A and B are shown apart, each in its own frame.
Chain A
Amino acid sequence: MNIQEYISSGIVESYVLGLASPEERAEFEQMCGQYPELVEARNNFELALELHARTSTARPSQEVKEKIWSAIQQTSSTPKIVTMEPTASRSTGLRWVAAASVILFIVAGYFAFHFYNENAQLKNSNKNLETKINSMDSVLGTMADHDKLMSDPNMTVVNMVGMQKGSPSSASVYWDSTSANVYLIVKNMPKLPSDKQYQLWALINNKPVDLGLFDAPKDNKIMLRMKNTEKADAFAITVENKGNTGGPNLNQLQSMGKAKL
Protein backbone atom coordinates (compact mmCIF):
# COMPACT_ATOMS: atom_id res chain seq x y z
CA MET A 1 0.00 0.00 0.00
CA ASN A 2 1.45 3.36 -0.92
CA ILE A 3 1.12 6.36 1.38
CA GLN A 4 -1.67 7.98 -0.61
CA GLU A 5 -3.77 4.85 -0.38
CA TYR A 6 -3.03 4.70 3.32
CA ILE A 7 -4.05 8.33 3.77
CA SER A 8 -7.34 7.86 1.97
CA SER A 9 -8.14 4.55 3.68
CA GLY A 10 -10.03 6.25 6.48
CA ILE A 11 -7.22 5.69 8.97
CA VAL A 12 -6.60 9.44 9.40
CA GLU A 13 -10.23 10.05 10.43
CA SER A 14 -10.30 6.90 12.51
CA TYR A 15 -7.14 7.98 14.35
CA VAL A 16 -8.22 11.57 14.96
CA LEU A 17 -11.73 10.62 16.10
CA GLY A 18 -10.30 8.09 18.53
CA LEU A 19 -11.88 5.13 16.75
CA ALA A 20 -8.65 3.36 15.82
CA SER A 21 -7.51 0.27 17.68
CA PRO A 22 -4.30 0.50 19.75
CA GLU A 23 -2.43 -1.40 16.99
CA GLU A 24 -3.74 0.95 14.31
CA ARG A 25 -2.77 3.94 16.46
CA ALA A 26 0.75 2.65 16.96
CA GLU A 27 1.14 2.01 13.25
CA PHE A 28 -0.28 5.41 12.37
CA GLU A 29 2.06 7.21 14.76
CA GLN A 30 5.02 5.33 13.38
CA MET A 31 3.97 6.18 9.79
CA CYS A 32 3.65 9.85 10.77
CA GLY A 33 7.30 9.79 11.68
CA GLN A 34 8.11 8.70 8.13
CA TYR A 35 5.63 10.53 5.95
CA PRO A 36 5.16 14.30 6.32
CA GLU A 37 2.20 14.08 3.92
CA LEU A 38 0.44 11.82 6.43
CA VAL A 39 1.00 14.39 9.18
CA GLU A 40 -0.33 17.05 6.86
CA ALA A 41 -3.44 14.97 6.11
CA ARG A 42 -3.97 14.41 9.81
CA ASN A 43 -3.54 18.09 10.58
CA ASN A 44 -6.01 19.05 7.86
CA PHE A 45 -8.64 16.70 9.18
CA GLU A 46 -8.05 17.87 12.76
CA LEU A 47 -8.51 21.48 11.75
CA ALA A 48 -11.66 20.72 9.76
CA LEU A 49 -13.03 18.73 12.67
CA GLU A 50 -12.26 21.54 15.07
CA LEU A 51 -13.98 23.99 12.77
CA HIS A 52 -17.12 21.87 12.73
CA ALA A 53 -17.05 21.20 16.45
CA ARG A 54 -16.71 24.86 17.17
CA THR A 55 -19.95 25.65 15.42
CA SER A 56 -21.55 24.49 18.65
CA THR A 57 -23.90 27.15 19.91
CA ALA A 58 -23.76 25.99 23.51
CA ARG A 59 -22.66 28.65 25.94
CA PRO A 60 -21.64 27.07 29.23
CA SER A 61 -22.08 29.56 32.04
CA GLN A 62 -19.51 31.65 33.89
CA GLU A 63 -20.86 30.08 37.05
CA VAL A 64 -19.68 26.68 35.87
CA LYS A 65 -16.33 28.19 34.97
CA GLU A 66 -15.90 29.54 38.51
CA LYS A 67 -16.93 26.20 39.95
CA ILE A 68 -14.31 24.38 37.91
CA TRP A 69 -11.65 26.92 38.85
CA SER A 70 -12.33 26.57 42.57
CA ALA A 71 -12.30 22.78 42.20
CA ILE A 72 -8.92 23.03 40.47
CA GLN A 73 -7.63 25.37 43.20
CA GLN A 74 -8.74 22.95 45.89
CA THR A 75 -7.24 19.85 44.37
CA SER A 76 -3.98 21.23 43.04
CA SER A 77 -2.19 22.64 46.06
CA THR A 78 1.02 21.21 44.62
CA PRO A 79 3.11 23.89 42.91
CA LYS A 80 3.32 22.57 39.38
CA ILE A 81 1.31 20.20 37.25
CA VAL A 82 4.42 19.30 35.29
CA THR A 83 5.91 17.70 38.34
CA MET A 84 2.68 15.94 39.16
CA GLU A 85 3.06 13.11 36.71
CA PRO A 86 6.44 11.87 37.96
CA THR A 87 5.62 12.50 41.61
CA ALA A 88 2.26 10.87 41.12
CA SER A 89 3.89 7.75 39.77
CA ARG A 90 6.65 7.92 42.36
CA SER A 91 4.13 8.31 45.13
CA THR A 92 2.24 5.37 43.65
CA GLY A 93 5.49 3.47 43.95
CA LEU A 94 5.96 4.77 47.47
CA ARG A 95 2.43 3.83 48.30
CA TRP A 96 3.21 0.31 47.14
CA VAL A 97 6.37 0.30 49.18
CA ALA A 98 4.45 1.61 52.18
CA ALA A 99 1.74 -0.99 51.69
CA ALA A 100 4.35 -3.69 51.26
CA SER A 101 6.20 -2.63 54.40
CA VAL A 102 2.99 -2.58 56.40
CA ILE A 103 2.23 -6.09 55.18
CA LEU A 104 5.80 -7.11 55.93
CA PHE A 105 5.53 -5.62 59.40
CA ILE A 106 2.32 -7.51 60.06
CA VAL A 107 3.76 -10.72 58.72
CA ALA A 108 6.96 -10.26 60.76
CA GLY A 109 4.84 -9.49 63.82
CA TYR A 110 2.81 -12.59 63.23
CA PHE A 111 5.92 -14.72 62.91
CA ALA A 112 7.53 -13.10 65.96
CA PHE A 113 4.43 -13.84 67.97
CA HIS A 114 4.15 -17.29 66.48
CA PHE A 115 7.78 -18.13 67.17
CA TYR A 116 7.62 -16.62 70.65
CA ASN A 117 4.64 -18.84 71.39
CA GLU A 118 6.28 -21.81 69.81
CA ASN A 119 9.46 -21.15 71.78
CA ALA A 120 7.51 -20.94 75.04
CA GLN A 121 5.73 -24.15 74.14
CA LEU A 122 8.99 -25.84 73.26
CA LYS A 123 10.58 -24.69 76.53
CA ASN A 124 7.63 -26.05 78.39
CA SER A 125 7.63 -29.40 76.68
CA ASN A 126 11.40 -29.50 77.03
CA LYS A 127 11.00 -29.07 80.78
CA ASN A 128 8.36 -31.78 80.83
CA LEU A 129 10.63 -34.07 78.92
CA GLU A 130 13.48 -33.31 81.32
CA THR A 131 11.30 -34.20 84.29
CA LYS A 132 10.17 -37.35 82.54
CA ILE A 133 13.73 -38.27 81.70
CA ASN A 134 14.81 -37.68 85.30
CA SER A 135 12.09 -39.91 86.67
CA MET A 136 12.80 -42.48 83.94
CA ASP A 137 16.43 -42.26 84.87
CA SER A 138 15.67 -43.03 88.48
CA VAL A 139 13.35 -45.84 87.44
CA LEU A 140 16.00 -47.10 85.08
CA GLY A 141 18.61 -46.79 87.86
CA THR A 142 16.39 -48.79 90.17
CA MET A 143 15.89 -51.39 87.49
CA ALA A 144 19.61 -51.53 86.80
CA ASP A 145 20.22 -52.01 90.52
CA HIS A 146 17.63 -54.76 90.54
CA ASP A 147 19.28 -56.33 87.59
CA LYS A 148 22.69 -56.09 89.21
CA LEU A 149 21.39 -57.70 92.38
CA MET A 150 19.61 -60.44 90.56
CA SER A 151 22.53 -61.30 88.36
CA ASP A 152 24.99 -61.30 91.26
CA PRO A 153 26.06 -64.94 91.74
CA ASN A 154 26.54 -64.42 95.50
CA MET A 155 23.00 -63.15 95.87
CA THR A 156 20.50 -65.37 97.59
CA VAL A 157 16.91 -64.64 96.72
CA VAL A 158 14.32 -65.47 99.29
CA ASN A 159 10.74 -65.27 98.14
CA MET A 160 8.40 -64.65 100.99
CA VAL A 161 4.83 -65.69 100.63
CA GLY A 162 1.84 -64.20 102.33
CA MET A 163 0.98 -65.81 105.62
CA GLN A 164 -2.36 -64.11 106.20
CA LYS A 165 -5.45 -65.46 104.54
CA GLY A 166 -6.83 -63.23 101.90
CA SER A 167 -3.87 -60.90 102.06
CA PRO A 168 -1.64 -61.38 99.10
CA SER A 169 1.32 -59.66 100.65
CA SER A 170 4.53 -60.77 99.05
CA ALA A 171 8.12 -59.61 98.94
CA SER A 172 11.53 -60.85 98.08
CA VAL A 173 14.69 -60.53 100.09
CA TYR A 174 17.93 -60.25 98.23
CA TRP A 175 20.65 -61.26 100.56
CA ASP A 176 24.28 -61.14 99.71
CA SER A 177 25.77 -63.68 102.08
CA THR A 178 29.34 -62.53 101.46
CA SER A 179 28.78 -58.79 102.03
CA ALA A 180 25.82 -59.32 104.37
CA ASN A 181 23.80 -56.70 102.46
CA VAL A 182 20.07 -57.18 102.59
CA TYR A 183 17.65 -55.69 100.10
CA LEU A 184 13.93 -56.03 100.20
CA ILE A 185 11.87 -55.85 97.10
CA VAL A 186 8.27 -55.32 97.95
CA LYS A 187 5.99 -56.87 95.40
CA ASN A 188 2.70 -56.37 97.06
CA MET A 189 2.25 -55.11 100.60
CA PRO A 190 -1.14 -53.68 101.62
CA LYS A 191 -1.22 -50.16 102.97
CA LEU A 192 -1.19 -49.94 106.75
CA PRO A 193 -2.89 -47.63 109.26
CA SER A 194 -0.67 -44.64 109.98
CA ASP A 195 0.38 -45.95 113.42
CA LYS A 196 1.62 -49.27 112.01
CA GLN A 197 4.77 -50.24 110.11
CA TYR A 198 6.12 -53.35 108.57
CA GLN A 199 9.20 -54.92 110.06
CA LEU A 200 11.62 -57.31 108.47
CA TRP A 201 13.17 -59.98 110.59
CA ALA A 202 15.90 -62.47 110.07
CA LEU A 203 15.42 -65.76 111.89
CA ILE A 204 18.72 -67.04 113.08
CA ASN A 205 18.59 -70.24 115.07
CA ASN A 206 14.89 -69.54 115.61
CA LYS A 207 15.68 -66.20 117.12
CA PRO A 208 14.32 -63.13 115.35
CA VAL A 209 16.80 -60.41 114.54
CA ASP A 210 15.50 -56.97 113.54
CA LEU A 211 16.43 -55.97 110.01
CA GLY A 212 14.48 -52.71 110.01
CA LEU A 213 11.06 -51.10 109.92
CA PHE A 214 9.51 -49.86 106.71
CA ASP A 215 6.31 -48.33 105.51
CA ALA A 216 4.19 -49.87 102.83
CA PRO A 217 5.72 -48.31 99.78
CA LYS A 218 3.53 -46.21 97.50
CA ASP A 219 4.83 -48.04 94.50
CA ASN A 220 5.19 -51.74 94.73
CA LYS A 221 8.25 -53.48 93.43
CA ILE A 222 10.40 -50.94 95.16
CA MET A 223 13.74 -51.98 96.55
CA LEU A 224 14.58 -51.13 100.13
CA ARG A 225 18.01 -51.39 101.69
CA MET A 226 17.67 -53.17 105.06
CA LYS A 227 20.10 -53.86 107.92
CA ASN A 228 22.88 -56.27 107.21
CA THR A 229 22.98 -59.78 108.49
CA GLU A 230 25.61 -62.41 107.93
CA LYS A 231 23.40 -65.25 108.85
CA ALA A 232 19.77 -66.07 108.37
CA ASP A 233 17.73 -69.22 108.26
CA ALA A 234 14.60 -67.44 107.20
CA PHE A 235 13.15 -63.99 106.74
CA ALA A 236 9.83 -62.78 108.02
CA ILE A 237 7.76 -59.61 107.84
CA THR A 238 5.45 -58.62 110.66
CA VAL A 239 3.14 -55.67 111.27
CA GLU A 240 4.26 -53.72 114.29
CA ASN A 241 3.48 -50.49 116.03
CA LYS A 242 5.27 -47.57 114.49
CA GLY A 243 8.88 -47.40 115.65
CA ASN A 244 8.74 -50.83 117.33
CA THR A 245 11.80 -51.62 119.41
CA GLY A 246 10.57 -54.87 120.94
CA GLY A 247 10.30 -58.30 119.49
CA PRO A 248 8.12 -59.40 116.67
CA ASN A 249 4.41 -59.73 117.02
CA LEU A 250 4.18 -63.12 115.43
CA ASN A 251 0.40 -62.94 115.34
CA GLN A 252 0.91 -60.36 112.72
CA LEU A 253 3.31 -62.36 110.59
CA GLN A 254 2.67 -61.28 107.09
CA SER A 255 5.20 -63.06 104.97
CA MET A 256 7.89 -65.52 105.47
CA GLY A 257 10.50 -67.27 103.42
CA LYS A 258 13.25 -69.70 104.14
CA ALA A 259 16.74 -68.54 103.35
CA LYS A 260 18.10 -71.95 102.68
CA LEU A 261 16.55 -74.76 100.88
Chain B
Amino acid sequence: MAACFILSPLSPYTKYSEHELVALLLRQNEQAFSYLYDNYSPALFGIINQIIPEKELATDVMQDVFINIWRKIASYDAAKGRLFTWMLNIARNAAIDKIRSRPYQDSLKNQPLPENVNTNTPNSVVNADINDVGLKKLINKLKEEYRVVIDLSYFQGFTHEEISKLLGIPLGTVKTRIRSALMQLRTLI
Protein backbone atom coordinates (compact mmCIF):
# COMPACT_ATOMS: atom_id res chain seq x y z
CA MET B 1 0.00 0.00 0.00
CA ALA B 2 3.03 2.24 0.43
CA ALA B 3 3.30 2.32 -3.34
CA CYS B 4 -0.18 3.71 -3.51
CA PHE B 5 0.70 6.67 -1.34
CA ILE B 6 3.82 7.42 -3.30
CA LEU B 7 1.99 7.15 -6.59
CA SER B 8 -0.97 9.22 -5.53
CA PRO B 9 0.60 12.62 -5.89
CA LEU B 10 1.94 11.58 -9.31
CA SER B 11 -1.33 10.93 -10.97
CA PRO B 12 -4.64 12.45 -10.03
CA TYR B 13 -6.35 9.49 -11.72
CA THR B 14 -4.84 6.88 -9.43
CA LYS B 15 -7.59 4.81 -8.04
CA TYR B 16 -5.98 1.43 -7.83
CA SER B 17 -2.90 0.09 -6.18
CA GLU B 18 -0.75 -2.09 -8.44
CA HIS B 19 -2.04 -5.10 -6.59
CA GLU B 20 -5.67 -4.15 -7.26
CA LEU B 21 -4.93 -3.29 -10.85
CA VAL B 22 -3.28 -6.66 -11.49
CA ALA B 23 -6.22 -8.47 -9.91
CA LEU B 24 -8.65 -6.56 -12.16
CA LEU B 25 -6.54 -7.16 -15.26
CA LEU B 26 -6.51 -10.86 -14.49
CA ARG B 27 -10.31 -10.73 -14.50
CA GLN B 28 -10.15 -9.02 -17.91
CA ASN B 29 -11.94 -6.04 -16.57
CA GLU B 30 -12.49 -3.36 -19.20
CA GLN B 31 -12.23 -0.57 -16.68
CA ALA B 32 -8.87 -1.97 -15.68
CA PHE B 33 -7.69 -1.72 -19.26
CA SER B 34 -8.94 1.83 -19.47
CA TYR B 35 -7.12 2.71 -16.29
CA LEU B 36 -3.98 0.95 -17.45
CA TYR B 37 -3.95 2.83 -20.74
CA ASP B 38 -4.76 6.23 -19.28
CA ASN B 39 -2.15 5.92 -16.57
CA TYR B 40 0.69 4.18 -18.28
CA SER B 41 0.51 4.92 -22.00
CA PRO B 42 2.40 8.25 -21.71
CA ALA B 43 5.34 6.64 -19.90
CA LEU B 44 5.35 3.54 -22.10
CA PHE B 45 5.01 5.57 -25.26
CA GLY B 46 7.83 7.75 -23.92
CA ILE B 47 10.29 4.87 -23.62
CA ILE B 48 9.26 3.40 -26.99
CA ASN B 49 9.55 6.77 -28.70
CA GLN B 50 12.99 7.31 -27.16
CA ILE B 51 14.07 4.11 -28.89
CA ILE B 52 12.02 4.53 -32.08
CA PRO B 53 11.96 8.20 -33.14
CA GLU B 54 9.27 7.62 -35.80
CA LYS B 55 6.05 8.45 -33.98
CA GLU B 56 3.77 6.32 -36.11
CA LEU B 57 5.92 3.24 -35.77
CA ALA B 58 6.34 3.91 -32.04
CA THR B 59 2.54 4.04 -31.74
CA ASP B 60 2.22 0.68 -33.52
CA VAL B 61 4.73 -0.83 -31.13
CA MET B 62 2.88 0.63 -28.17
CA GLN B 63 -0.34 -1.02 -29.31
CA ASP B 64 1.43 -4.39 -29.44
CA VAL B 65 2.89 -3.72 -26.01
CA PHE B 66 -0.54 -3.10 -24.45
CA ILE B 67 -1.95 -6.20 -26.11
CA ASN B 68 1.02 -8.17 -24.76
CA ILE B 69 0.61 -6.77 -21.26
CA TRP B 70 -3.06 -7.75 -21.38
CA ARG B 71 -2.28 -11.26 -22.54
CA LYS B 72 0.72 -11.92 -20.34
CA ILE B 73 -0.54 -10.39 -17.11
CA ALA B 74 -0.77 -13.85 -15.53
CA SER B 75 2.99 -14.26 -15.90
CA TYR B 76 3.69 -11.05 -13.97
CA ASP B 77 5.32 -11.92 -10.65
CA ALA B 78 5.02 -9.18 -8.04
CA ALA B 79 7.84 -10.78 -6.03
CA LYS B 80 10.29 -9.88 -8.78
CA GLY B 81 9.39 -6.25 -9.06
CA ARG B 82 6.80 -3.61 -9.66
CA LEU B 83 4.15 -3.82 -12.37
CA PHE B 84 5.52 -0.66 -13.95
CA THR B 85 9.04 -2.13 -14.14
CA TRP B 86 7.60 -5.24 -15.80
CA MET B 87 5.65 -3.20 -18.33
CA LEU B 88 8.59 -0.87 -18.96
CA ASN B 89 10.77 -3.86 -19.82
CA ILE B 90 8.11 -5.28 -22.16
CA ALA B 91 7.93 -1.90 -23.91
CA ARG B 92 11.70 -1.52 -24.13
CA ASN B 93 12.19 -5.05 -25.44
CA ALA B 94 9.44 -4.64 -28.04
CA ALA B 95 10.94 -1.36 -29.26
CA ILE B 96 14.46 -2.77 -29.43
CA ASP B 97 13.18 -5.85 -31.28
CA LYS B 98 11.58 -3.48 -33.76
CA ILE B 99 14.65 -1.35 -34.43
CA ARG B 100 16.83 -4.42 -34.75
CA SER B 101 14.38 -6.10 -37.12
CA ARG B 102 15.26 -6.54 -40.75
CA PRO B 103 12.52 -4.32 -42.20
CA TYR B 104 13.46 -1.46 -39.88
CA GLN B 105 17.17 -1.82 -40.59
CA ASP B 106 16.42 -1.86 -44.31
CA SER B 107 14.28 1.26 -44.03
CA LEU B 108 17.19 3.04 -42.32
CA LYS B 109 19.44 2.29 -45.28
CA ASN B 110 17.25 4.47 -47.45
CA GLN B 111 17.84 7.43 -45.19
CA PRO B 112 20.99 9.30 -44.29
CA LEU B 113 22.48 7.49 -41.32
CA PRO B 114 22.39 9.29 -38.02
CA GLU B 115 25.84 10.26 -36.90
CA ASN B 116 27.81 8.56 -34.20
CA VAL B 117 26.19 8.41 -30.80
CA ASN B 118 29.37 9.85 -29.31
CA THR B 119 28.72 13.25 -30.73
CA ASN B 120 25.84 15.61 -30.38
CA THR B 121 24.08 14.71 -33.56
CA PRO B 122 21.56 16.70 -35.55
CA ASN B 123 19.31 13.76 -34.80
CA SER B 124 19.42 14.47 -31.12
CA VAL B 125 18.55 18.07 -31.81
CA VAL B 126 15.58 17.03 -33.87
CA ASN B 127 14.51 14.74 -31.11
CA ALA B 128 15.17 17.29 -28.41
CA ASP B 129 11.61 16.86 -27.20
CA ILE B 130 12.08 13.20 -26.45
CA ASN B 131 15.58 13.62 -25.10
CA ASP B 132 14.51 16.13 -22.53
CA VAL B 133 11.90 13.97 -20.92
CA GLY B 134 11.59 10.70 -19.14
CA LEU B 135 14.50 8.33 -18.83
CA LYS B 136 16.51 9.97 -21.57
CA LYS B 137 16.64 13.14 -19.54
CA LEU B 138 17.94 11.14 -16.62
CA ILE B 139 20.51 9.33 -18.75
CA ASN B 140 21.63 12.61 -20.25
CA LYS B 141 22.76 13.74 -16.83
CA LEU B 142 25.38 11.00 -16.81
CA LYS B 143 29.03 11.59 -17.54
CA GLU B 144 29.50 11.48 -21.33
CA GLU B 145 31.37 8.17 -21.52
CA TYR B 146 28.72 6.62 -19.27
CA ARG B 147 25.87 8.13 -21.22
CA VAL B 148 27.17 6.55 -24.39
CA VAL B 149 27.36 3.01 -23.00
CA ILE B 150 23.92 3.30 -21.37
CA ASP B 151 22.46 4.71 -24.55
CA LEU B 152 23.88 1.83 -26.56
CA SER B 153 22.89 -0.87 -24.13
CA TYR B 154 19.60 0.42 -22.75
CA PHE B 155 18.12 2.39 -25.64
CA GLN B 156 19.61 0.44 -28.52
CA GLY B 157 19.86 -3.01 -27.03
CA PHE B 158 23.47 -3.73 -27.95
CA THR B 159 25.29 -6.47 -26.05
CA HIS B 160 28.53 -5.72 -24.23
CA GLU B 161 30.43 -7.47 -27.03
CA GLU B 162 28.74 -5.33 -29.66
CA ILE B 163 29.45 -2.14 -27.73
CA SER B 164 33.09 -3.19 -27.39
CA LYS B 165 33.35 -3.50 -31.16
CA LEU B 166 31.34 -0.36 -31.88
CA LEU B 167 33.43 1.85 -29.61
CA GLY B 168 36.68 -0.01 -30.16
CA ILE B 169 37.27 -0.45 -26.45
CA PRO B 170 37.99 -3.69 -24.58
CA LEU B 171 35.06 -5.76 -23.35
CA GLY B 172 36.25 -5.36 -19.76
CA THR B 173 36.16 -1.58 -20.13
CA VAL B 174 32.60 -1.75 -21.45
CA LYS B 175 31.54 -3.79 -18.43
CA THR B 176 33.29 -1.45 -16.00
CA ARG B 177 31.82 1.63 -17.66
CA ILE B 178 28.28 0.28 -17.60
CA ARG B 179 28.70 -0.65 -13.96
CA SER B 180 30.04 2.82 -13.11
CA ALA B 181 27.26 4.39 -15.16
CA LEU B 182 24.64 2.48 -13.21
CA MET B 183 26.28 3.46 -9.94
CA GLN B 184 26.23 7.10 -11.00
CA LEU B 185 22.61 6.74 -12.07
CA ARG B 186 21.85 5.62 -8.57
CA THR B 187 23.08 8.91 -7.21
CA LEU B 188 21.19 10.97 -9.82
CA ILE B 189 17.84 9.37 -9.52
B 11-37 to A, binary, CB cutoff 8 A, 1 in contact else 0? 100000000000001111010011001
Residues of B within 8 A of A (CB-CB), count = 57
- Judging by beta carbons under 8 Å apart, are B33 and A72 in contact? yes
- Judging by beta carbons under 8 Å apart, are A19 and B154 in contact? yes
Assuming A16-B81, A48-B189, is B59 touching A53 (CB within 8 A)? no
Which of B6, B27, B178 interacts with A80 by CB under 8 Å?
A: B27
Which of A14, A17, A72 interacts with B67 by CB under 8 Å?
A: A72
Q: How far is the CA of A47 from the CA of B34 in the complex (A)?
A: 22
- Judging by beta carbons under 8 Å apart, are B134 and A56 in contact? yes
Q: Which of A57, A76, A80 has the most CB of B within 10 A?
A: A57
Q: How far is the CA of A233 from the CA of B154 in the complex (A)?
A: 124
The reply on B92 being an interface residue by CB < 8 A is: yes
The reply on B57 being an interface residue by CB < 8 A is: no
- Judging by beta carbons under 8 Å apart, are A69 and B33 in contact? yes
Contacts of A67 in B (CB 8 A): 63
Assuming A49-B88, A72-B33, is B67 touching A54 (CB within 8 A)? no
Which of B6, B75, B185 interacts with A13 by CB under 8 Å?
A: B185
- Judging by beta carbons under 8 Å apart, are B74 and A13 in contact? no
- Judging by beta carbons under 8 Å apart, are A58 and B42 in contact? yes
The reply on A51 being an interface residue by CB < 8 A is: yes
Interface residues of A in 171-216 (CB under 8 A from B): none
Q: Which of B44-52, B113-121, B164-172 contacts A (4 or more CB under 8 A)?
A: B44-52
- Judging by beta carbons under 8 Å apart, are B179 and A49 in contact? no
Contacts of A68 in B (CB 8 A): 33, 37, 63, 66-67
Identify the closest chain A residue to B184 (Cβ): A10
Interface residues of A in 19-68 (CB under 8 A from B): 19, 29, 32, 42-43, 45-60, 64-65, 67-68
Which of B67, B137, B153, B186 interacts with A45 by CB under 8 Å?
A: B186
Contacts of A71 in B (CB 8 A): 63, 67
Residues of A within 8 A of B (CB-CB), count = 45
The reply on A85 being an interface residue by CB < 8 A is: yes
The reply on B138 being an interface residue by CB < 8 A is: yes
Q: How far is the CA of A220 from the CA of B34 in the complex (A)?
A: 105
- Judging by beta carbons under 8 Å apart, are B133 and A46 in contact? no
- Judging by beta carbons under 8 Å apart, are A58 and B183 in contact? no
A28: shortest Cβ distance to chain B, in Å?
A: 9
The reply on A4 being an interface residue by CB < 8 A is: no
Contacts of B46 in A (CB 8 A): 53, 56-58
Binding site for A on B (CB under 8 A): 3, 6, 10-11, 25-28, 30, 33-34, 37-38, 41-43, 45-47, 49, 59, 62-63, 66-67, 70-71, 73-75, 79-82, 84-85, 88-89, 92-93, 129, 133-135, 137-138, 153-154, 178-183, 185-186, 189
Beyond A10-B179, A47-B3, A58-B46, list 10 extra A-B contacts (CB 8 Å): A19-B182, A47-B82, A50-B84, A53-B46, A56-B45, A56-B46, A68-B37, A68-B63, A69-B30, A81-B71
